[in-house]
């Protein structure tokens, strides 16, 4: 069977893609596509595969692989030739990356465990990336609303200078799962196009109902400031741009956008043969801005998924 492991990343319209697939199970089934999402995976199917970089006990991995193999066989018997497995926590959690102050530092080892559970099948890894300033702002805002502290200036500085970029994550995945194909696209170009993304990942054109929805959007300043007021903090501590939480200053954003532009240049040039970049000609892609290289997406935030 063809297995597509949709890895996220977080805050790149993953919830929109997942809910759209979940709401179109019958249409997918008729096209020979099965779908497993976070609700199913986190309910026990992937127990023994989640974890950090150190190897998990063989017994736990073996039991998980056995469960996965049985479920894949059942999907095949039901007529599926392609299985989409969508779970952004395969890369690592948002709590993990904010604590590590690194972009998915254990991505290779983590994803390899999941890929190994599908041994013997044709595996594709799908990765959505996003401009670094918008990505980290969305992650940090999500964490604040769930009890995390507001990011202080020193943390913002460290996130700007942390050494990992999307190309490093991709290289880690290619080294850890050499038998898999890697497909990469940008949030900026593909966030609102779950049907097109499905076609890229599976080769199947499936009419999807509800494909224009907006699920789990990024944190808006009024929401964040209301939360801060509720917990007795100063709402003015939440900085933003165009109504969105944005803890990085213009100089930091310029640096992060330049870093992202380098990632896009690398992908456009062939990614060293490690990945296939599927952003389409004519789709919105990074270009020069007044704040350095990279996409001007403040206005886009008003309508794009986060």
Which pLDDT tens digits describe the chain residue by residue (306 residues)?
999 999 999 999 999 999 999 999 999 999 999 999 999 988 888 988 876 545 555 555 678 889 999 999 999 999 999 999 999 999 999 999 999 999 999 999 999 999 999 999 999 999 999 999 999 999 999 999 988 888 999 999 999 999 999 999 999 999 999 999 999 999 999 998 999 999 999 999 999 998 777 787 788 898 999 999 999 988 888 988 778 899 999 999 999 999 999 999 999 999 999 999 999 643 444 433 222 233 434 433 333 334
Give every CB contact of residue 15 below 8 A, 6+ residues apart in sequence: 215, 216, 305
Cβ atoms of 115 and 180 closer than 8 Å: yes
Q: Is residue 252 part of a domain?
A: no
How far apart, in whole angstroms, are the C-alpha atoms of residue 147 and residue 257?
28
| Any domain includes 40 | yes
Predicted local confidence at residue 61, as pLDDT: 63
Whether 255 maps to a domain, the answer reads no
Could you list the residue range(s) of the whole structural domain that residue 127 is in?
2-132+164-216+260-287
Query: Alpha-carbon distance 71 to 179, whole Å?
Result: 22
Identify the pLDDT of residue 258. 98
Q: Is the pTM of this model over 0.95?
A: no
The pLDDT of residue 284 is 43
Report yes or no on 61 lying in a domain. Answer: yes
Given a contact cutoff of 8 angstroms between Cβ atoms, the answer to whether 84 and 4 are in contact is yes
Which residues make beta-bridge pairs with 85?
5, 36
- Nearest-angstrom CA–CA distance, 304 and 237: 25
| Within-domain flag for 148 | no
The DSSP secondary-structure symbol of 148 reads P
Q: Is residue 22 domain-resident? A: yes
Query: β-strand 181-186 against 122-129: which pairing, if any?
Result: parallel
Structural domains of the chain, count: 1
Residue 82 dihedral angles phi and psi, to the nearest 5°: -130, 140
Domain membership of residue 14 (yes or no) is yes
In a domain, 152, yes or no: no
Looking at residue 51, its pLDDT comes to 67
CATH number at residue 176: 3.40.50
């Amino acid at each position: 069977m063809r297995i597509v492991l949709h890895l996220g990343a977080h805050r790149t319209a993953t919830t929109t893609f997942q809910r759209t697939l979940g709401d179109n199970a019958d249409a997918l089934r008729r096209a020979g596509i099965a779908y497993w999402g976070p609700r199913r995976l986190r309910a026990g199917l992937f127990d023994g595969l989640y974890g950090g970089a150190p190897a998990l006990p063989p017994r736990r991995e073996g039991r998980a692989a056995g469960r996965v193999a049985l479920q894949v066989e059942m999907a095949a018997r039901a007529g599926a030739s392609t299985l989409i497995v969508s779970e952004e926590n395969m890369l690592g959690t948002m709590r993990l990356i904010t604590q590590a102050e690194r972009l998915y530092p254990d991505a290779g080892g983590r994803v390899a465990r999941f890929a190994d559970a599908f041994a013997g099948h044709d595996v594709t890894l799908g990765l959505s990336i996003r401009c670094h300033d918008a990505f980290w702002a969305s992650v940090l805002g999500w964490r604040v609303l769930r009890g995390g502290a507001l990011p202080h200036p020193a943390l913002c500085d460290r996130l700007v200078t942390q050494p990992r970029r999307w190309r490093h994550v991709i290289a880690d995945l290619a080294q850890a799962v050499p038998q898999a194909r890697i497909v990469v696209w940008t949030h900026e170009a593909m966030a609102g196009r779950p049907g097109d993304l499905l076609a890229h990942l599976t080769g199947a054109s499936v009419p999807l109902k509800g494909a224009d929805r907006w699920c789990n959007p990024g944190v808006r300043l009024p929401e964040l400031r209301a939360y801060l007021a509720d917990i007795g903090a100063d709402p003015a501590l939440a900085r933003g741009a165009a109504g969105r939480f944005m803890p990085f200053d213009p100089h930091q954003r310029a640096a992060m956008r330049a870093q992202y532009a380098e990632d896009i240049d690398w992908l456009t040039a062939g990614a060293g043969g490690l990945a296939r970049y599927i952003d389409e000609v004519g789709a919105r892609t990074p270009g020069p801005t007044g704040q350095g290289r990279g996409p001007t997406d403040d206005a886009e935030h008003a309508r794009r998924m986060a």
